[in-house]
Amino acid sequence: MTDQSTKNAPRAVAIIPARGGSKGIPLKNLQKVAGKTLLARAVEAAVHAQGIDLVVVSTDHDGIAAEAQRAGATVIRRPDAISGDLASSEAALLYTLDQLAEQGKTFELTAFVQCTSPFIDPQNIDRAIGRVVSGEADVVFSAVEDHSFLWTLDEADGSAVAVGHDASFRPRRQDRKIHYNETGAFYIMRTDGFRETGHRFFGRVEIEEVPPEHAQEIDSMSDLTLVRAMAKAHEDTSALDVDALVTDFDGVHTDDAGYVDENGKEMVRVSRGDGMGVSRLAKAGFPFLVLSKERNEVVTRRAEKLRVEVAQGIDNKAEVLMKWMADKGLDPARVAYVGNDINDLEAFSVVGWPIAVADAHPSVLTAARLVLSRRGGHGAVREVCDLIPDATLNR
């Protein structure tokens, strides 16, 4: 984001609509990909675009507003009348522009940026801005080249009907006319033209082509699962640069099995190797917390032996974890949490590094930023401890 005092180009505002009432994925905008919420990823893309002067999030939700401010955006609250399922994005944009104008802030360009596209390259935004600034176009939007054959269904009988091509003629890919799919990631518009028409497409419209890997859009849980897998594939997890480590107990330090004798005394199996890994962190004074839903003396004894903090009988792990991080002055984005079951998902949502053991519940594996190669109770804790380099411990 460029300082306006050193910039001669027209002023540009990026507006990110992010309401709280998503139906397909509850609070979709706060779902995480590679440790960052979809909202934060959109804000960061806009902030890092050199042609953007101000980034604004339009929302009706307190949690989204707080996350937007953490990510570096200005927040303008959206009224209920334009926050429902039937409200258009254009309505949110126009309302936001009106609110900014009342504050004496006007912009020649408006960038409409969407959270549902998690891989936005700021350079693409800047190239699109440049084309509108130069007068080459009134609107430039992101799209990806597509060579597919499109079909629809006849409303009368449900039969397949070719769209935009002759079904009897099958040219080679290289011989087909290129068409483009709108990605929904961003739209750069002249503000006056947008205000006049009330729509994102007006005047001369051009395309800013983005690579296929940046064209992913999230509308369903399957889309989110795919995007998370893509992000994991491109992330270097050979070392873990974090400031604290938090773990569940059952299923992480143990194999999630228990031994009960005839007197009802419970015992669990743990890994000695895990103890060596935790000891290395404890000796360096590295913050480490065992956070367990169960209240069991065996958890207390194990934490004492490892010389780490422990919190037990926790129904709301996220709430306790957030307080622990706040008390220690930790940045949640730099905290790792290791879990194995669905009651760990709430803790996953408040840290930057949600980590799953190899035999975790499928939903936990999907939500994790990193999946360990070892199972709970079989060296998983040692594995994650070993990922934290000495340089991190000695800071």
> Which pLDDT belongs to residue 319?
94
Distance CA 62, CA 66 (A): 6
Rounded distance between C-alpha atoms, residue 262 and residue 185, angstroms: 62
Distance, in Å, from the CA atom of 349 to the CA atom of 135, rounded to the nearest integer, reads: 44
User: Distance between CA atoms of 233 and 211, rounded to whole angstroms?
Assistant: 17
Q: Which pLDDT does position 6 carry in this prediction?
A: 38
Q: Is 95 inside any structural domain?
A: yes
User: Domain check: are 113 and 200 in the same one?
Assistant: yes
Residue 277 lies in a domain: yes
pLDDT score recorded for residue 40: 95
Q: How far is CA 169 from CA 149, 164, 165, 166, 176, in A?
A: 11, 12, 8, 6, 10
Residue 285 belongs to domain spanning = 244-393
- Mark whether 320 and 379 lie in a shared domain: yes
Q: 284 and 190 in one domain?
A: no
CATH number at residue 333: 3.40.50.1000
- Amino acid identity of residue 252, one-letter, is V
d(C-alpha 92, C-alpha 191), whole Å: 14
- The pLDDT profile of the chain, 395 residues, written as one tens digit per residue, is 655 433 455 699 999 999 987 777 888 999 999 889 999 999 999 999 999 999 999 999 999 999 999 999 999 999 988 888 878 999 999 999 999 999 999 999 999 999 999 999 999 999 999 999 999 999 999 999 988 888 999 999 999 998 888 888 888 877 777 889 999 999 999 999 999 999 999 999 999 999 998 999 998 889 998 998 888 888 888 899 999 999 999 999 999 887 777 777 777 888 999 999 999 999 999 999 999 988 888 888 899 999 999 999 898 999 999 999 999 999 999 999 999 999 999 999 999 999 999 999 999 998 899 999 999 999 999 999 999 998 888 77
In a domain, 163, yes or no: no
Domain identity same for 193 and 286: no
Look up residue 174 and give its amino acid.
Q
Both 206 and 307 in one domain: the answer is no
Q: Are residues 196 and 248 in the same domain?
A: no
Out of 166, 185, 219, a domain closes at 219
Q: Are residues 183 and 98 in the same domain?
A: yes
Total domains, the chain: 2
Whole-structure pTM value: 0.80
Domain contains 169:
no
Considering the domain architecture, whether residues 180 and 57 belong to the same structural domain is answered as yes
Is there a domain that residue 161 lies in?
no
Do 189 and 114 lie in a common domain?
Answer: yes
> What's the pLDDT score for residue 7?
47
> What's the alpha-carbon Rg for the chain, to the nearest Å?
25
* Nearest alpha-carbon partner for 141 in 41, 208, 57: 208
Domain-embedded: residue 226: no
Residue 5: what pLDDT?
39
Q: Which amino acid is at 126?
A: D
329 assigned to some structural domain? yes
What confidence score (pLDDT) does residue 8 get?
A: 54
Phi and psi at residue 108, to the nearest 5°: -75, -30
What's the CATH code of the domain at 55?
Answer: 3.90.550.10
| Residue 227 maps to a domain | no
Alpha-helix residue ranges (DSSP H) falling in the chain = 38-47, 62-71, 89-102, 122-133, 191-197, 221-233, 272-283, 297-306, 317-327, 345-348, 362-367, 380-386, 390-393
206 and 259 share one domain? no
The whole-number pLDDT of residue 9 equals: 56
Q: Please tell me whether residues 71 and 209 are part of one structural domain.
A: yes
Do 107 and 33 belong together in one domain? Answer: yes
